[in-house]
Chains A and B, each alone.
Chain A
Amino acid sequence: MKWILTENNKKINSLEIPTISIEDLKHDLKNMNLRVVGFFGKQEFENIRLYVTLADDKNGIFYISSVLFNPNEKSYESLTQDFPAFHIFEREFYEEFGIKPLNHPWLKPIRHNQDKYPFFSMRGEDVHEVAVGPIHAGVIEPGHFRFMCQGEKVYDLEIMLGYQHRGIEELILNSSNFNNRLAESICGDTVIGHNMAYSMVMESLSDTKISEKSKIIRRIALELERMAVHIGDMGAISGDMAYLPGASIFGTTRTLVINTMLEICGSRFGRGLINVGGINFDIDHSMEQKIIAMLDEVLHITQKTVKVMLKKSSCISRMEKTGFVSTENARLLGAVGMAARSSGVNIDSRFDFKDEFYQLIGKKLNFKATGDVYSRFRLRYEEVLQSANFIKNLLEILRQYNKQNLKSEIGFVSPNSFVISSVEGWRGEIVHIAITGANSELLRYKIKDSSFNNWYMLAMAVRNNGISDFPLCNKSFNLSYCGNDL
């Protein structure tokens, strides 16, 4: 047995995870044709154990295995050569443990050593470099972008991040108790998504069964977050192409959604709503009415504005064929989430990994992807409509569980366990993996935000576009800096 199979949020014994050789891993990767969701090391006495987690999206199963490196093994033949989706994972593993993937085509720092970053550079007549950031003109996070251009045309974009590195994984390992406030700070625009993943990992580790009621309210919050960010980003895309009505109308509409979140839990971004063992705030009958009224208003405004916008030739001409990423490239790069779906890679953890509630309320969006900014704009719009529908259905189901508790008793964390939890945040798949030791202590906590996979997709999208279209491409992805930097 070379791989152990598990499901989303299911605890397995970490000692049962098999050890395979790197050749076997390569061989299996070729045969299994699965997507990588976890590729990280853990110190095991003097050895380093590399955990590999693959996702079988069709059957909703995770495959887990590990490779052991003894202290003398300082390198291995890189997997990226055959499987480009591993590129960022191998860079991360090299940066954290110093085991070098040989012949890696793009072995560069991702979070540390920015001062020694080896930039790609082009020489030739008319070629010029444009360096942007790390501090930008807008209210965005720090990150450095370097464009290689010929005139207005971008040949290559190199993205250097790491300015937001806070060591969140270590902070989680070192916190004595469950620390949801820390999980909420992994990425400020995906508070619910990350907090939900963290809580589910911890609940699975401690065999805590939470009430149906709190499960439903968590999902309502997740969809509210999705709606709010998507609407906000539609406004930002309009703003970047100087379409004023879009920018102002979507901006105010987003406020309606986040203000409802404020009424539910006292924070516009849903901080403090979810805790390990349940949730902190209830949605009662009057709140339910408020949410439904808000949804109707938001849908009305959004539908009307999008209808006008998509009839405007100047808007469409700006978005169409801008920032194109083909399905093939998106799949090769291991893109996830809405960015992947907009390029025709139809993966969505809400439905790929069986979820008791999402199965009841709907199915995957049937979206005709074109891979450009227009596709990402329209996908956001359709996801807003879908989420509003989901929230209404969830509120209906919620009524049956009116009497249930918000919080449940939390059990003891089990020793020697491995749990993987995947949540579809608004940006895409969020994966949290926890491994405990013999004394139930956390040995490794691995976080993978969807931005981690997707940043390179942005670099691909900008190629051969005008440099003045970069802000528009960037907004259409709206990737997270701190989610990548951790």
Chain B
Amino acid sequence: MLDIFINIFILLTVPFLMIGVIKKTKAFWSGRKGINIFQPFWDFLRLLNKETVYSSTTSWIFKITPIINFSVIFFASLFVPMANGLAIINIPFAFIIFSYVLALGKFFTLISALDTGSSFEGMGASREACFSTLVEPAFFIAIGSITALTQNYTFQSLKLILENAGIYGYLVITLAIITLFIMLLIECSRVPVDDPATHLELTMIHEVMILDNSGIDLALILWTSAIKMFLFASLISALIIPTGLPQIISILLFLSIIFIISIIIGTIESSTARYRMTHVFEFVFIMSITALLILTLVTYKLYGN
């Protein structure tokens, strides 16, 4: 019971802090003072107090999308192991629910972008759809192989790799971290795939789809994308945190891994230019290849002898 409360508390607070830490890291590297790390949270509260404006070309789809998206991400987060390596709902094959529930949210984001009738948003939707199609198989191959390895098929079994695979486990964990991290950069539209800070509509992927949203809707969308990033970071930390630690240490370790991942994202954004749109695919294929390597290793481990 306590775990559930801790998880929900973390889910409500940490995602915005992650965004704050990323922004602070970027400010540090560019020699600026930067914002308070709580600023994204204040921005969220500010947006909640603003009026929501709807364009006359939009329909009900545009209006319900932020709510659907938020409920979907909240539902998906129930299956993800967070503090102490425990998920609120721990059932086999949760990763399939997780993936398709997120896909539902994405589907609504796409049609809501098309709903505005703007040529920019249509372009963003087509880009987002294209990259998502490439992420999905890699996600299933990587996570599916790992859960097959542990014979448990739950998300929580991510931490059991070492116990089941021995020395191969280290290799699988490393590859899984790389896969999930690239997935995070793509899904959460960070540099070098997308630039969350740009004002140039023509180059955006994710940001361009929410150009027409305002007020409470925008606040929900920002929260949704912060949680999404946090969920991917949680999956990475589930791979790293060993089992059998005291609860308090496990939670602290979890938080510090999230913190470190934020700093790494910020540092990448401060030191790399964004890839050209046609070169992003090469980056995406790195992820597919690492996912396939995981599959190969797991197959060898399970059926090799």
Decide if B30 touches A129 in the complex (CB within 8 Å). Answer: no
Decide if A244 touches B270 in the complex (CB within 8 Å). Answer: yes
CB-CB nearest in chain A for B199: A137
- CB-contact partner of A138 in B29, B30, B200, under 8 A: B200
Contacts A248-B31, A248-B32; A470 near B272 (Cβ below 8 A): no
The verdict on B278 contacting chain A, using a C-beta distance below 8 Å, is yes
Cβ distance B23 to chain A, nearest Cβ, rounded Å: 11
A216-251 interface with B by 8 A CB criterion: 238-245, 247-249
Decide if A317 touches B120 in the complex (CB within 8 Å). Answer: no
Chain A residues with Cβ under 8 A from B203's Cβ? 240, 468-469, 471
Q: Interface code A88-130, partner B: CB below 8 Å = 1, 0 otherwise?
A: 0000000000000000000000000000000000000000111
Chain A residues with Cβ under 8 A from B123's Cβ? 130, 152, 467
B247-267 interface with A by 8 A CB criterion: none
- CB-contact partner of A317 in B199, B275, B277, under 8 A: B275
Decide if B272 touches A132 in the complex (CB within 8 Å). Answer: no
Contacts A129-B119, A242-B269, A247-B30; A317 near B276 (Cβ below 8 A): yes
Interface centre among A132, A137, A138 (most CB of B within 10 A): A137
C-alpha gap A247/B127 in the complex (Å):
26
Contacts A242-B195, A312-B273, A314-B272; A470 near B26 (Cβ below 8 A): no
Chain A residues with Cβ under 8 A from B201's Cβ? 132, 137
Chain B residues with Cβ under 8 A from A239's Cβ? 198
The verdict on B202 contacting chain A, using a C-beta distance below 8 Å, is yes
- CB-contact partner of A240 in B191, B200, B271, under 8 A: B200
Cβ distance B286 to chain A, nearest Cβ, rounded Å: 14
The verdict on B105 contacting chain A, using a C-beta distance below 8 Å, is no
Number of residues from B at the complex interface, CB < 8 A = 32
The verdict on A131 contacting chain B, using a C-beta distance below 8 Å, is yes
B188-205 interface with A by 8 A CB criterion: 191-192, 195, 197-203
Decide if A314 touches B275 in the complex (CB within 8 Å). Answer: yes
Helix, strand, loop or mixed for chain A's interface?
helix
Chain B residues with Cβ under 8 A from A468's Cβ? 202-203, 276-277
C-alpha gap A247/B273 in the complex (Å):
11
The verdict on B274 contacting chain A, using a C-beta distance below 8 Å, is yes
Chain A residues with Cβ under 8 A from B275's Cβ? 314, 317-318
Contacts A129-B119, A130-B202, A248-B30; A242 near B278 (Cβ below 8 A): no
Q: Interface code A6-22, partner B: CB below 8 Å = 1, 0 otherwise?
A: 00000000000000000
C-alpha gap A242/B270 in the complex (Å):
8
CB-CB nearest in chain B for A154: B202
C-alpha gap A242/B269 in the complex (Å):
8
The verdict on A315 contacting chain B, using a C-beta distance below 8 Å, is yes
The verdict on B63 contacting chain A, using a C-beta distance below 8 Å, is no
Decide if A249 touches B31 in the complex (CB within 8 Å). Answer: yes
Decide if B119 touches A318 in the complex (CB within 8 Å). Answer: no
Cβ distance A118 to chain B, nearest Cβ, rounded Å: 20
Q: Interface code B24-42, partner A: CB below 8 Å = 1, 0 otherwise?
A: 0010011110000000000
Interface residues of A (CB under 8 A from B): 128-132, 137-138, 151-152, 238-245, 247-249, 252, 312, 314-315, 317-318, 322, 466-471
Interface residues of B (CB under 8 A from A): 26, 29-32, 119-120, 122-123, 126-127, 191-192, 195, 197-203, 269-279
Known pairs A130-B123, A245-B271 / 17 extra A-B pairs, C-beta < 8 Å: A128-B122, A138-B199, A151-B126, A152-B277, A240-B203, A242-B191, A242-B198, A244-B30, A249-B31, A317-B275, A318-B273, A318-B275, A468-B202, A468-B203, A468-B277, A470-B202, A471-B200
